[in-house]
Amino acid sequence: MSLRPTLDFLLYDWLDAEKLNQSERFADHSRETFDAVLDTCERIAREKYAPFNRTVDTQEPHFDGEKVILPQATHDAHKAFVESGMMSAAQDYEIGGMQLPYTVQAAANSFFAMASVSIGSNMLTSGNANLLMVHGTEMQKEVFAKNEFSGRWAGTMCLSEPQAGSSLSDVSTRAVPDGADFQDDPLGPRYRLTGNKMWISSGDHELTENIVHIVLAKIPDENGKLVPGTRGISLFIVPKRMVDTQGQLTGERNDVALAGLNHKLGWRGTTNTLLNFGEGKYPVGGKAGAVGYLVGAPGKGLHCMFHMMNEARIGVGTAATMLGMAGYYASLDYAKSRPQGRLVKKPEAAGAAVVKDSAAPQVRIIEHADVRRMLLAQKAYCEGALALELYCARLVDTQKTGNAEQADDARLLLEVLTPIAKSWPSEWCLEANSLAIQVHGGYGYTRDFPVEQYWRDNRLNMIHEGTHGIQAADLLGRKVLMEKGRGLQLLAGRVTDTIGRAAKVPALAPHAKALGAALQRIGSATEAAWSTGDPADALANAVPYMQAFGHTVLAWLWLDVAVRALEIDAQKARAVTAGKIGATDYFFHYELPKIGAWLQVVETRDPTCTALPEDAF
């Protein structure tokens, strides 16, 4: 199975990616340059990522007391990725980028996520550098961001702490000015940081000569106290090794120490660390405290961070999607080749028992109805999720290059869709991986087949970069309310547009009607949830709300894809068209009806869970 036809359809036939070059920024690009990028990434993923996906699972990172050891394959994959130029693909020509649309970059990166999701952690590095390009000083861009884009250094995001995972307002890492002249450091106002950071991906390794940590910390007030809440959070660059203004290592370690590696269920190719900042293990200039350079204004750390949240969440959603896709392809291949059992036949006499002709040869399992159901569910989940991620990526491009109104609409739509782009694939492409195991039967439960690893790897995605619960609270507690509900209205407008087009196609008209009803019900459930004005009532069932919202969004995207597929191929002459229509039918018959159960508790602000006394659990 090749991902390419699916990507090509979504990019070119559905999202009109070729027209991206109508904006000035992408004027030099064309389908040829986009295809060349896809070709390169597909090849690197095939050669340097896929063959080593099991290697990085079994050869987990370990610390030898001095260094974190990773398999050679991880070094090779990193080198190949850097050499491809993908790390800075979206950046300006003048700093060595390709000015590639994010849509195409996201599509290209999907090859890597499918081949080995954890062997690379380049998204963190480019996300880190992107943030510096927006909020950093010229010197910070020059010294830190550029060396990350070139692949010479790597980057991290240090947000969580052992006592503050999802609750960033409780960050307690302290940053105090480093000397009287702390404002005068050419790399930025210089602080000393002390604190512990947990769950830091790629927090230590030898893939690059240096690591640029971006760290959330609080600057104490005049009484030495940390400001409660997120308002007090500032953002700092904390390099693992000290550097000068030329971007050369000074030879001195910064006071950042690896306190431990987390041993995970999956996603083992990427180190995940507990880092101690400023414990005095590596004093700088004879003094304990990790040296950090302030980025942006004090107290605006989360604001700077949010700038990159959307892309990071689309990245997580894409990773979840591609793990699902990898499992789908593996189980489809298996189902096409594995003989097992026979089909049931209609008995000749009424009331006779079900018969099978046991002398006939066994059939391949793709001929069994239930195996087909499991395969089509995977296709509907994973190709639908990919459509969602690419749609969101396209909005990122519009936000950057559209006219004022288009850009603003894209921004607001992205606000509403991002929790879905993060949560929906994390939940349903994980389910797809479980179905991929099931299609394999006992073999799927062994480590001789890849599907069990996909399932383990994918389980992370509902947790990191904002848990499912956090995404749901963000969606129902913030996103659908912001700007007086204009984001939800924008989305409803686009859904209604698709409904209008689908209603004219006889094969799709029943789906159009079902989607209209679902959209209405989402609207009324949103109102009912907030009808008491008490967030405790509204958010009591935020996750079921998000599940229903996500299924409605996916139904919309599938319907939109189906309309487009039939526009291109009204005769359904191509197998790919039959596949899109089949997946759309599946989604509308088997999936969309699930929203009733989810919305019922939202609409009634069901208090069953919140009201139960603690000792009754």
Site for a copy of itself in 466-505 (CB under 8 A): 467-469, 472-473, 477-478
* CA-wise closest residue to 37 among 91, 95, 96, 84: 84
CB of residue 309 to a copy of itself, shortest distance in Å? 18
Q: Which of 262, 298, 485, 510 binds a copy of itself (CB under 8 A)?
A: 262
Q: Which is nearer to a copy of itself, 17 or 376 (CB)?
A: 376
Q: Is 593 in the site for a copy of itself (CB under 8 A)?
A: yes
Give the amino acid at 400. K
Q: Is 523 in the site for a copy of itself (CB under 8 A)?
A: no
How many residues bind a copy of itself (CB under 8 A)? The answer is 109
* CA-wise closest residue to 379 among 337, 420, 439: 439
Other beta carbons within 10 angstroms of residue 367's beta carbon come to: 16
Q: Is 531 in the site for a copy of itself (CB under 8 A)?
A: no
* CA-wise closest residue to 254 among 234, 271, 279: 279
**How does DSSP assign 290-322, residue by residue?**
EEEEEESSTT-HHHHHHHHHHHHHHHHHHHHHH
Q: Is 263 in the site for a copy of itself (CB under 8 A)?
A: yes
239 DSSP β-pair partners: 212
Report 134-173 residues binding a copy of itself (CB under 8 A).
Answer: 160, 163-167, 169-170
Report 199-218 residues binding a copy of itself (CB under 8 A).
Answer: 199
Report 229-248 residues binding a copy of itself (CB under 8 A).
Answer: 229-230
Which tokens in the block code for residue 143? Answer: 């010294």
CB of residue 581 to a copy of itself, shortest distance in Å? 8
Write the CB contacts of 260 (distance below 8 Å, at least 6 apart in sequence): 273, 274
Residue 244 DSSP one-character state: -
Q: Which is nearer to a copy of itself, 130 or 423 (CB)?
A: 423
Other beta carbons within 10 angstroms of residue 357's beta carbon come to: 9
Q: Is 376 in the site for a copy of itself (CB under 8 A)?
A: yes
Rounded Cα–Cα distance for residues 288 and 290 (Å): 7
Other beta carbons within 10 angstroms of residue 511's beta carbon come to: 26
Q: Is 483 a catalytic residue?
A: no
Stretch that binds a copy of itself, among 40-48, 72-80, 213-221, 531-539 (CB under 8 A): 531-539
CB of residue 231 to a copy of itself, shortest distance in Å? 8
- Candidate list 161, 389, 427, 465, residue with the active-site label: 465
Other beta carbons within 10 angstroms of residue 585's beta carbon come to: 18
Rounded Cα–Cα distance for residues 527 and 538 (Å): 9
Q: Which of 152, 287, 447, 504 binds a copy of itself (CB under 8 A)?
A: 447
- Three-class secondary structure assignment of 3-16: CHHHHHHHHHHHCC
Cα Rg of the chain, angstroms: 25
Q: Is 86 in the site for a copy of itself (CB under 8 A)?
A: no
CB of residue 79 to a copy of itself, shortest distance in Å? 29
Q: Is 614 in the site for a copy of itself (CB under 8 A)?
A: yes
Report 532-571 residues binding a copy of itself (CB under 8 A).
Answer: 533-536, 539-544
Q: Is 219 in the site for a copy of itself (CB under 8 A)?
A: no
Q: Is 460 in the site for a copy of itself (CB under 8 A)?
A: yes
CB of residue 469 to a copy of itself, shortest distance in Å? 4
Report 175-204 residues binding a copy of itself (CB under 8 A).
Answer: 198-199
Report 293-312 residues binding a copy of itself (CB under 8 A).
Answer: none
Rounded Cα–Cα distance for residues 351 and 561 (Å): 44
CB of residue 461 to a copy of itself, shortest distance in Å? 10
Report 42-81 residues binding a copy of itself (CB under 8 A).
Answer: none
Q: Is 341 exposed, middle or buried (0-12, 13-18, 19+ CB in 10 A)?
A: middle
Q: Which of 28, 83, 92, 370 binds a copy of itself (CB under 8 A)?
A: 370
CB of residue 62 to a copy of itself, shortest distance in Å? 14
Residue whose token pair is 């000290």? 242
Give the amino acid at 85. G
* Active-site annotation, residues: 465
